[in-house]
Structure 1
Amino acid sequence: MTTLRLRPEDPADTGAVRRVLAAAFARPDVTTPPEVRLVDELRAGDAWLPKLAMVAEYGGEIVGYALLTRVRVCADGVNAPALVLGPVAVAPHRQRIGLGGAVVQAALEAATELGERLIVVLGDPAYYRRFGFSRADRMGLTSPWSGLGEPWQALVLPPTTSNEPPPPQGDVVFPPPWSKV
């Protein structure tokens, strides 16, 4: 029986994560997909949150990845913390068996446990809707990708206390590595 293990990325996993990203985002016109460089640069910066870089280990092999990193929501001089989901990847030989959904769900649960309130993503609305994401623009969130409409999405996580303020609204500011994607 093959076992699925979902866990935070360990520093020793860097090479395996790079291979999963490179295979999942492979294109004939580039040797290193931008998603690989994005994760490398995020890993080296202030937006990196080690407990929120999740891997899916299937049969002892790392085959899936979901990353949550820090972004800021800015409005009226206030800088509120939020997260961005991405990239999400599954090795091609293990796609379509639920590993992507499992590793995303593990990342969302880890964020909830850490008391995070808001996650944004740019991706397929039909896919991310199953996790509770909906249009970010309808939540008062803007970004360089707002003009894309439905793919610009957000998820409000449950509050940890009953008197917690509502999630922030405003312009979502991404760390510099995102400008290269």
Structure 2
Amino acid sequence: MTTLRLRPEDPADAGPVRRVLAAAFARPDVATPPEVSLVDELRDTTAWLPELAMVAEYGGEVVGYALLTRVRLRPERGSDVPVLALGPVAVAPHRQRVGHGTAVVQAALDASTELGERLVVVLGAPVFYRRFGFGPASELGLTGPWAGLGEPWQALVLPPSTSEEGPPPRGEVLFPAPWSKV
């Protein structure tokens, strides 16, 4: 019986990840979807956290991907706070709608919780991301480049791994330069 294996991406996965992203985000008007370039460019920045780039492997083939990268939250007062952005998330078209996307996102979120991360933002389908606990980022007082899109701009407060309590700071989420091309 073939099982789904979830693990952090390793350097040999770059090509298969590109193929999954290209297939999942394919559009007839674009040769290479911007999500492919986004991941390639993020790999060369300090935002890249290799332990939070998760792949789903089925039958020895990379079929899913979820990426969490470092972004900053600029509160109204005080210093910037490191938080995470989820995306892109992709599943190869021939393996969609069988739970691989849910599994790879949950694996990435679990890994971030284990590392003591506190907050994740995402721009995506509310119906999909609600299952993980995401809700409107505006309710947490979070703004950012996509805040004007309404419901797809979402956030998730992760369970504290230490005695850290209370809500995360409110403010503007700042993304690294590669995100500006998406």
TM-score normalised to the size of structure 2? 0.97
**Alignment deviations for residues 103-125 of structure 1 (CA, whole Å, 9 cap, x no partner):** 00000000000000000000111
- RMSD (Å) for aligned C-alpha atoms: 0.9
1:38 is aligned to 2:38: yes
Code of the residue aligned with 1:171 in structure 2: it is E
Alignment match, 1:172: 173
1:131 is aligned to 2:141: no
Alignment of 1:2-151 (within 5 A): 2-75=2-75, 76-151=77-152
User: 1:95/1:114 Cα in 2 relative to 1: closer, same or farther (>3 Å)?
Assistant: same
**Alignment deviations for residues 15-47 of structure 1 (CA, whole Å, 9 cap, x no partner):** 000000000001111111000000000011110
Give % identity.
77
1:153 is aligned to 2:154: yes
Unaligned runs of at least 5 residues, structure 1: none
User: 1:163/1:54 Cα in 2 relative to 1: closer, same or farther (>3 Å)?
Assistant: closer
Code of the residue aligned with 1:47 in structure 2: it is A
TM-score normalised to the size of structure 1? 0.98
Q: d(CA) in 1 for partners of 2:62 and 2:39? A: 16
**Alignment deviations for residues 126-174 of structure 1 (CA, whole Å, 9 cap, x no partner):** 1100000000011010001111111100000011122445312100000
Code of the residue aligned with 2:180 in structure 1: it is S
Q: After the TM superposition, which parts of structure 1 deviate over 4 Å for at least 4 consecutive aligned residues?
A: none
* DSSP 3-state at the match of 2:80: strand
Unaligned runs of at least 5 residues, structure 2: none
